[in-house]
Amino acid sequence: MRAWPSVHLPELPGNAPPLRLFDTATGQVRPSAPGPVATMYVCGITPYDATHMGHANTYVAFDLLHRIWRDGGHDVRYVQNVTDIDDPLLERAVATGQDWRSIADRETALFREDMHALRVLPPGEYIGAVESIPSVAGYVAGLQAKGLVYAVDDDLYFRVRSDPNFGSVTHLDEETMIRLFAERGGDPDRPGKEHPLDCLVWQSERADEPAWDTPLGHGRPGWHIECAAIALDFLGMTIDVQGGGSDLAFPHHEMGASEAQMITDQWPFARHYVHSGMVAWQGHKMSKSRGNLVFVSALRHEGVDPMAIRLALLAHHYRTDWAWTPHGLEGAAERLARLRAAIAVADPPPAESTLERMREALADDLRSPAALDALDDWAHRALRSSAAANTQGRAASEAGALIAAASDALLGVRLETEGD
């Protein structure tokens, strides 16, 4: 599956400080400490309603991480999946009378357009669940050979408690795990299961549902094993960051990590588990099931500058929960206009200290609001003192060009307009 086109990433002068990130598994902000090649897997969309602001918030957050690693001199191996076969997609197909593949293709294409408009750097590998089915079947067979998988009717389940480290990602008590498992696509009450938390790794064919021929039989994979398989295939163990929205921490990341760990007999699956916050609208978390969605594409079609949308997202720390509002978008549009006016000032103040402040803020757990504060301070001074002499003797546009490059490279916000 193809990703979206990349965008130019300006090179900045000087050196970036090492990145420190909050890790869900330890509850601490710790150095990310990748090697020359940093590895990241971020769970992608289930393509039946793309791209709402909850999606955009997550992928812009991990785009920040991607950019900060790149600014720090790392190559980045970034993998993202598309869950292009799953129960919610099939349910939407039945409800609308459309073919599930047409829905998946259309919504994935729209997602790619939105990501490109928001200047999100594409993953190096963009992998659909359907194309990963042969690999998933192989991994399930491996778990089966180890005695870690059992049958319920014709479906196959993974014994999560076979992993001695199960629970080490989220540290939830069992009662909470079971409740969240039921709320987030699990089946803790299914008769025949050995433990309520055991998770489906292979589902046998259902009437009127798609299925694929594999050595396991005619069927399709469970959700968690898909991401484990794709990550192992393209990144291996142990990756630097496993990422996604906070609603994926349990069960998805917890169970996927256990599956990968038992497949490879290695621990941990990831050095950092990083989760973005939830975005609310109309008093509730933005979700497809509730239907309270604000779409990137709809705003774009209304003429909203994608850079204003991106600024509205960056105004919130990536791992906080917050509410989308029209007022917030208006403020982002005003900020964008102010920054664009400031970089056009003929004789702006020096910008090196602003770049340093931005880097320090972003290296401290991706504090994008503090980085925007640094930009705002510079813009305020530039607009107030645009006639002041340049005591550093630099060319008139040098500081503005550095600010524009820093905004683009670090925050993904392009301040130059077409024709600049």
The mean pLDDT value for 228-240 works out to 98
Evaluate if residue 394 carries a pLDDT over 50.
no
End-to-end, the C-alpha distance of the chain in Å comes to 34
Is residue 37 classed as helix, strand or coil in its secondary structure? strand
The Cα–Cα gap between 372 and 187 comes to 44
Task: Average the pLDDT over each of 88-92, 255-259, 306-310 and give the range with the smallest value.
Answer: 88-92
Per-residue pLDDT band at 26 (split at 50, 70, 90)? very high
The pLDDT assigned to 321 comes to 97
The pLDDT assigned to 49 comes to 85
The Cα–Cα gap between 286 and 323 comes to 9
The pLDDT assigned to 395 comes to 43
The Cα–Cα gap between 390 and 396 comes to 8
* Overall pTM surpassing 0.75 (yes/no): yes
* H-run or E-run covering 64: helix 53-71
Task: Average the pLDDT over each of 88-102, 160-174, 260-274 and give the range with the smallest value.
Answer: 88-102
The mean pLDDT value for 236-257 works out to 98
Per-residue pLDDT band at 417 (split at 50, 70, 90)? confident
Beta strands in 287-415 (DSSP E): 322-323
- Which residue has 């301070």 as its token pair? 377
pLDDT digits (tens, 9 = 90+) for 68-99: 999 999 999 999 999 999 888 999 999 999 99
What percent of the chain has pLDDT above 70? 96
The pLDDT assigned to 289 comes to 67
The mean pLDDT value for 7-16 works out to 96
Task: Average the pLDDT over each of 75-79, 94-98, 141-145, 377-381 and give the range with the smallest value.
Answer: 94-98
Let me know: does 415 contact 340? Beta carbons within 8 Å.
yes
The Cα–Cα gap between 39 and 156 comes to 30
Q: What is the largest CA-CA distance in the chain?
A: 80
Evaluate if residue 15 carries a pLDDT over 90.
yes
- Exposed/middle/buried for 133, CB within 10 Å: 0-12, 13-18, 19+? buried
Per-residue pLDDT band at 389 (split at 50, 70, 90)? very low
Q: What are phi and psi of 416, to 5 degrees?
A: -65, 145
Evaluate if residue 264 carries a pLDDT over 70.
yes
Q: Virtual CA dihedral for 201, 86, 81, 369, nearest 10 degrees?
A: -110
Angle at 269 between CA 264 and CA 270, to 5 degrees: 155
pLDDT digits (tens, 9 = 90+) for 328-368: 999 999 999 999 999 999 889 999 999 999 999 999 999 99
Which residues contact residue 340 at a Cβ distance below 8 angstroms, ignoring those fewer than 6 apart?
415, 417
The pLDDT assigned to 56 comes to 97
